Amino acid sequence: MFDTFVQTDAGKSRDVRNALNSSRQKAVEENRKRLSHIIRTIEFCGRQEIPLRGHRDAGALSLNESDCNDGVFKASSRLRVEAADKQTTDLFLKAPCNTSYLSWRVQNKVIFLMGDAIQKQILSDISQCKYFSIRADETTDVSQTEQLSLSVPFIKDTKVHEEFLCVVPVSSTTGKDLASTILTQLSQLGLNLKHMRGQGYDGARNMSGKYRGVQARVKELHPLAMYTHCCNHVLSLVISTSSQLPVIRNAMAAISDICVFMSRSAQRVSIFQDNVEKEASGSASFATEAETNLRHTLRRKT
């Protein structure tokens, strides 16, 4: 659907109904121009990681500033329309209510189509690189729904890339069911599981279990998918374990107390920054002097 819109908007394809009805053709062209601006606005918000919604984001678009927060999407659209020509402004101000494309339903539809297009591009890159690994982690969202996030590391142009694929709701967190969910989802996305060469999870028993964990069940079907314990989880475990040592625990407590002490006074922070800059410049001068002495020594020896 998204590809069809792009081709039609670029003039590569034409609807036969528009060829028979010139007024309909004009209305369709105006709707597409309006929708193009809306898509660009949503794309901008997505790239900047800005949420679209406000307290009151329904209704027609007005060039007058609202007394209340009408949402980032409407504010961005207003800014875009104000900077455009009169023809573009009329597209929004004189648009029929049923084709304004400003509703949250249209926003969600555009976001879904963009996500689908991005996912297809990621899958295409993975297919071209052929071999890939899988990383998965389960978590519970604010609605208390258990979810499994899937990401895929692969090598492209001699560089390691890791791309997020999707989030899958799960009803069971046993190793057998999670392994089945992962393999089924990867197959539905069109990835060739025979080319999977690695898998990485946390240290939970249902994920890393030697006999009944996800990694064991996946490796049983795909022996070349070597399991690696997630390095971030390993670091977390190491820090948690080392914090039980009195020396490290006391050092961390002292650092925490110092941070609290410094942050409660702007004057302390200023004095601290000045001393850090002096120490840094002193270290740089010392390093320069040491380098100069080393060069003189080497010259004398040669």
Q: What is the pLDDT of residues 31-58, one digit of tens each?
A: 888 888 889 999 998 899 888 876 666 6
pLDDT of residue 184: 92
Where in the chain are the domains? 2-113, 130-236, 246-301
Per-residue pLDDT band for 207 (boundaries 50, 70, 90) equals confident
Average pLDDT over residues 233-258: 81
**CATH class of this structure's domain 130-236:** alpha beta
Neighbours of 118 (CB within 10 A): 13
pLDDT one-digit tens code per residue, 208-244: 888 888 889 999 999 999 988 877 777 777 777 777 7
In the predicted model, is pLDDT for residue 76 greater than 70? yes
Highest mean pLDDT pick, 25-29, 137-141, 165-169, 234-238: 165-169
